[in-house]
A = this chain, B = another copy of it.
Amino acid sequence: MALTAETITDTALDILSRYGLGDLSMRRLARELEVQPSALYWHVKDKQSLLVLISKSLKVEVDAACPVTADPLAAAMSLREVLLKYRDGAEIVLLGYSIAAADVTPQALSSERLGAEISQGILTLTLGAVAVEQNRRLFDIDPAGAAENFAANAAAMLAVIRSPS
């Protein structure tokens, strides 16, 4: 496998879904790719920028499942599903969204569609809720009713759209 930013990201995604963020080190990544750790730094600025690349990749995955015109609540649920696929997805995308919001926000939840305020609201709610949910799974705490709970709260926040103040 030719070493590129893409192959590095893909391998990272693989480690992430299998073992989680705790096992995603630059050294571990290098071992998996059978290169020296330092080799990674020719293709990727640092670990943080790799996490942003990962965040962008998850956005693309959500977009593939959600057209621009998708119902915002359905889009938020899709985002949640994708975040859950990658063990610590929410924590990573929280970082990615902080640094490069526009590149990480799913098209169906963009500020162009929902307005900056609600777009940010639904993103931060989703990232916060799923981050907590993923932490709980990690510690074997039962995240009882997580999906329904999240759906209800997201719906409440989105209700403003159909009845603006």
**A interface majority secondary structure:** helix
Are B120 and A124 touching (Cβ within 8 A)? no
CA distance A99 to B140 in the complex (A): 10
Question: Which size class do A's interface residues fall under?
Answer: 20 to 34
Contacts of A131 in B (CB 8 A): 94, 98, 124, 127-128, 131
Does residue A60 face the partner (Cβ distance < 8 Å to B)?
no
Report the nearest B residue to A158, measured CB to CB. Answer: B156
Are B149 and A98 touching (Cβ within 8 A)? no
Contacts of A97 in B (CB 8 A): 132
What is the minimal beta-carbon distance from A121 to any residue of chain B, in angstroms?
Answer: 3
Q: A98-B135, A128-B124, A132-B127 are in contact. Are A118 and B157 (CB under 8 A)?
A: no
Does residue A110 face the partner (Cβ distance < 8 Å to B)?
no
Of listed A125, A135, A139, residue having the most chain B CB within 10 A: A125
Are A94 and B135 touching (Cβ within 8 A)? yes
Are A125 and B99 touching (Cβ within 8 A)? no
What is the minimal beta-carbon distance from A69 to any residue of chain B, in angstroms?
Answer: 23
What is the minimal beta-carbon distance from A135 to any residue of chain B, in angstroms?
Answer: 3
Q: A128-B126, A132-B127, A157-B157 are in contact. Are A152 and B98 (CB under 8 A)?
A: no
What is the minimal beta-carbon distance from A42 to any residue of chain B, in angstroms?
Answer: 24
